[in-house]
């Protein structure tokens, strides 16, 4: 069988991209697809969601999965529909037509899109609708993620923001955790509006940015499915870990999931594992730190400089500059990321100039 031509297929979003756009979990999308509220396509690369239908749902229009004039039902949907009632017969509730949760379009490319006249080719705007800034951005993004709670994710996000601001960077904070731990920290500082200083601000997704940021720090919830959308939209991930038995076990599972879902975030790399609340004089902590190093070697991730236990954290003091070494690593990776983007832009400009001259 020749490979299917997917050039006419609409722009699609992955599960992680749609979760980040709608701020929901993969389980929510699974339930919506099962109920017929959103259509998903199962291609060779995995499950995808057409962007044109996502935009229709956001505008409040009738999705193509319901019985309406938006598009003709698929054969599978027709076979699952109820028989047509006579014109004189009335029913208290109209029959609901559902489409299968996953539509296979490997051999029939373009079946998911509405049929168009042969002489009217779809324009670039129709095939590739514009996406929100949550997908396209120009700043450097770091996600603080772990599936376990109580490992200082919010505290790490807060101290890294202050260290980066001291280095002259403008930082936008994102709190994806329903517990709103990061917002509580700002409230403790008297910042009800989320604006801590000219260089640090907590902004919800979809709200206008108070300034053009250099770095975006994302605090994720202590749940695996809810933290993956934040990972997928980031350039780098930092995984905090405490030197204790349950935290080390949870760290192993977290690193395993990041490795297994690498295809969903191919451009995101693990910046390192960050041991926190470490008591260097305790032999037990030294043993667990060794286990963390073994996990880092196993999955190929570096172990960042450990953050020791300190009373200064109880009052959000910067005494000791405990997170400064980690902030310096972020700044180094930020500079490397900017050089890479500048190189890509230069290569693109050179290619366009060469194509323009016909060389």
Q: Report how far residue 269's alpha carbon sits from residue 350's, in angstroms, rounded to the nearest whole number.
A: 28
Chain-centre distance of CA 141, in angstroms? 11
> Within this chain, do residues 156 and 209 fall inside the same structural domain, yes or no?
yes
Q: In the numeric block, which tokens belong to residue 273? A: 């594992």
Q: Are residues 332 and 207 in the same domain?
A: yes
Domain match, 28 and 78 both: yes
3-state SS of 53-113?
HHHHHHCCCCCCCCCCCCCCCCHHHHHHCCCCCCCCCCCCCCCCCCCCCEEECCCCCCCCC
336 domain-assigned: yes
- Other C-beta atoms within 10 Å of 224: how many? 20
Long-range CB contacts (< 8 A, 24+ apart) of 241-245?
241/146, 241/151, 241/273, 241/274, 241/275, 241/276, 241/292, 242/150, 242/151, 242/152, 242/275, 242/276, 242/277, 243/275, 243/277, 243/278, 243/279, 243/284, 243/285, 243/288, 243/289, 243/292, 244/288, 245/288
Answer yes or no: do 181 and 58 share one domain.
no
Tens of pLDDT, residue by residue over 199-247, are: 999 999 889 999 999 999 999 999 877 788 889 899 999 999 999 999 9
pLDDT the model gives residue 357: 53
Residue 220 and residue 180 in one domain: yes
Pick from 103-107, 158-162, 190-194: least confident: 103-107
- The percentage of residues in the chain with a pLDDT greater than 90, rounded to a whole number, is 47
Q: Is residue 135 part of a domain?
A: no
Q: What is the CATH number of the domain that holds 316?
A: 3.40.50.300
284 domain residue, yes or no:
yes
User: What percentage of the chain exceeds 70 in pLDDT?
Assistant: 71
DSSP annotation of 217 reads E
Q: Give the tens place of pLDDT for each residue, 275-316.
A: 999 998 999 999 999 999 999 999 999 999 999 999 999 999
37 assigned to some structural domain: yes
User: How much is the average pLDDT of 259-287?
Assistant: 93
Specify if 132 maps to a domain: no
Average pLDDT, the chain: 77
pLDDT higher than 60, residue 69? no
pLDDT of residue 120: 45
Q: Are residue 148 and residue 123 in the same domain, yes or no?
A: no
Residues 69 and 174 in one domain: no
Asked if 210 and 256 sit in the same domain, the reply is: yes
Pairing mode of beta strands 40-43, 102-104: parallel
Residue 240 domain-assigned (yes or no): yes
In a domain, 314, yes or no: yes
Residue 43 is assigned to a structural domain of this protein: yes
State whether 100 and 240 are in the same domain: no
Compute the distance between CA of residue 168 and CA of residue 194 in angstroms, rounded to an integer. Answer: 19
109 and 169 together in one domain: no
Claim to verify: residue 188 and residue 335 sit in the same structural domain: yes
How many distinct structural domains can be found in the chain? Answer: 2
Q: Are residues 161 and 255 both part of a single domain? A: yes
DSSP secondary structure of 260-280:
HTGGGSTT-EEEEEEE-SB-T
At residue 216's C-alpha, the angle toward residues 13 and 173, to 5°, is 105
Domain around 37? 12-85+92-127
pLDDT tens-digit map of 73-121: 443 433 444 444 444 444 444 444 343 333 333 333 343 444 444 444 4
Q: Which DSSP letter does residue 192 get?
A: T
Q: How confident is the model at residue 196 (pLDDT cuts 50, 70, 90)?
A: very high
Whether 253 has a pLDDT exceeding 80, the answer reads yes
Higher pLDDT, 284 or 18: 284
């Amino acid at each position: 069988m020749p490979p299917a031509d997917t050039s006419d297929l609409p722009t699609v979003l992955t599960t992680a991209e749609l979760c980040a756009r709608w701020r929901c979990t993969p389980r929510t999308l699974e339930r919506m697809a099962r109920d017929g509220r959103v259509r998903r396509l199962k291609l060779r690369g995995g499950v995808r969601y057409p962007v044109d239908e996502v935009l229709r749902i956001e505008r409040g229009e009738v999705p193509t999965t319901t019985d309406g004039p938006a598009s003709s039902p698929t054969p599978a949907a027709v076979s699952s529909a109820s028989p047509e009632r006579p014109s004189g017969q009335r029913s208290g509730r109209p029959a609901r037509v559902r489409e299968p949760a996953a539509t296979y379009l490997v051999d029939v490319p373009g079946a998911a899109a509405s049929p168009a006249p042969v002489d009217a080719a779809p324009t670039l705007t129709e095939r590739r609708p514009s996406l929100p800034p949550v997908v396209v951005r120009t700043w450097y993004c770091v996600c603080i993620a772990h599936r376990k709670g109580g490992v200082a994710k919010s505290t790490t996000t807060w101290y890294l923001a202050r260290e980066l601001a001291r280095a002259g960077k403008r930082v936008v904070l994102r709190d994806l955790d329903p517990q709103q731990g990061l917002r509580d920290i700002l409230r403790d500082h008297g910042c009800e509006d989320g604006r801590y200083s000219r260089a640090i601000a907590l902004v919800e997704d979809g709200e206008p940015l108070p300034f053009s940021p250099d770095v975006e720090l994302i605090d994720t919830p202590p749940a695996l499915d809810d933290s993956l959308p934040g990972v997928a939209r980031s350039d780098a991930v930092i995984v905090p870990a405490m030197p204790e038995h349950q935290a080390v076990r949870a760290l192993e599972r977290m690193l395993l999931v990041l490795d297994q879902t690498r295809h969903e975030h191919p451009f995101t790399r693990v910046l390192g594992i960050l041991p926190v609340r470490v008591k260097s004089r305790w032999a037990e902590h030294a043993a667990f730190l060794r286990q963390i190093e073994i996990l880092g070697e196993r999955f190929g991730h570096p172990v960042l400089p450990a953050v020791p236990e300190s009373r200064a954290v109880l009052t959000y003091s910067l005494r000791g500059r405990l997170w400064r070494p980690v902030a310096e690593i972020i700044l180094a990776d930020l500079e490397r990321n900017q050089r890479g983007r500048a190189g890509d832009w230069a290569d693109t400009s050179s290619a366009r100039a060469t194509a323009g001259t016909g060389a």
